């Protein structure tokens, strides 16, 4: 059966990819390659390595589509997490920098997962872009440095030449503003 690339859901695409459907794989690539490449580049800070991230993420999607569990989270969350992990692997191998990971989640398992209520990806991106524009450039920078680029809050405060307390305030205010803007478009699944 022909796939309608405009209407088929991410979950259905993955189900088809699990059956080794290359058309579905091509559609998913068109949907997510820009995101994966740019997020990879944000983390590894190198175009060639970002290309490696993109390749390894999509090869993993092809090989492991059958392991995706939609009760644990949205497809986008799954792909973003694979991208972060692949990027971290490359950073580790290239010794580019240490990684800031602080959590011990042994006791935090739950079935709660979220997705956006906006089905159109362009709408979703627009809402996220607007939310990011609503926070100050300073708040955005510290969130990027710590959350995506792997710096500790101490390193980030040194890079930005601000006291630790200011760094913490910026993180908190930035998140609060992002939540205000994005929570109305999120749903528990």
Partner 1 sequence: MRSKTEIHELLNLYIFGALDPAEKAEAEEYLKNPEFLSYYKETRFLLDHTAYSYEEELQVPENIKSEIFLKIEETSTLADENFPADQSDNILRPSFFNRYGFAIAASVVGFLLIYTFTLTQQLNVQSTLIAKLQSEYEENHHFVDFVSNPDVFQIKLAADDQSKAVGNLAWNKTSNDAMLYVSNLRELPDENVYQLWVLHKDNSVIEAMGTFNVNPDGTYMLTIGCMPKPSDTKAIYITMEPEGGMPEPTGNKYLSGYL
Asked whether position 139 contacts partner 1 by CB under 8 A, the answer is: no
CA distance 58 to 16: 14
Distance CA 148, CA 150 (A): 6
Q: Which of 25, 26, 33 is nearest to 54 (CA)?
A: 33
Q: Does residue number 13 form part of the binding site for partner 1 (CB under 8 A)? A: no
Q: Work out how close the CB of 161 gets to partner 1 at its nearest, in angstroms, rounded to a whole number.
A: 17
**Burial environment of residue 186 by CB neighbours within 10 A (0 to 12, 13 to 18, 19 or more):** middle
- Provide the minimum distance between the beta carbon of 4 and partner 1 in the complex, in angstroms, as a whole number: 21
Structure-token pair, residue 36: 């994966």
Nearer to partner 1, 12 or 92 (CB): 92
Residue 48: which H helix or E strand, with range? helix 47-64
Among 14, 41, 44, 75, binds partner 1 (CB under 8 A): 41
Residue 137 sits in the site that holds partner 1 (CB under 8 A): no
End-to-end Cα distance, the chain: 28
Total interface residues for partner 1 by CB under 8 A: 83
Q: How far apart are CA 24 and CA 21, in angstroms?
A: 6
CA distance 22 to 171: 42
Radius of gyration, alpha carbons of the chain: 18
Q: Minimum Å distance from CB 153 to partner 1?
A: 4
Of 8, 23, 45, 153, the one binding partner 1 by CB under 8 A:
153
Pick out residues in 48-107 that bind partner 1 (CB under 8 A).
50-51, 54-55, 58-60, 62-64, 67, 73-74, 76-77, 80-86, 88-89, 92-93, 95, 98-107
**Residue whose CB is less far from partner 1, 13 or 37:** 37
Q: Which of 13, 90, 146, 149 binds partner 1 (CB under 8 A)?
A: 146
Figure out which of the listed residues 37, 44, 75, 90 binds partner 1, where binding follows CB under 8 A: 37
């Amino acid at each position: 059966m022909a796939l309608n690339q405009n209407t088929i859901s991410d979950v259905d695409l993955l189900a088809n990819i699990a059956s080794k459907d290359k058309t579905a794989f091509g559609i998913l690539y068109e949907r997510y390659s820009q995101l994966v490449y740019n997020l990879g580049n944000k983390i590894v800070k190198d175009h060639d390595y970002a290309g490696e991230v993109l390749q390894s993420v999509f090869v993993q999607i092809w090989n492991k589509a059958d392991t995706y569990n939609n009760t644990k989270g949205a497809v986008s969350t799954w792909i973003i997490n694979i991208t972060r992990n692949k990027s971290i692997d490359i950073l580790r191998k290239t010794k580019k920098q240490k990684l800031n990971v602080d959590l011990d989640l042994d006791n935090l398992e739950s079935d709660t997962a979220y997705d956006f209520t906006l089905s159109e990806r362009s709408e979703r991106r627009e809402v996220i872009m607007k939310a990011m524009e609503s926070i100050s450039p300073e708040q955005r920078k510290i969130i990027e440095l710590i959350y995506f680029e792997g710096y500790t809050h101490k390193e980030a405060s040194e890079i930005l030449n601000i006291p630790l307390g200011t760094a913490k305030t910026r993180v908190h205010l930035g998140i609060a503003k992002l939540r205000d803007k994005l929570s109305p478009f999120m749903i528990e699944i």
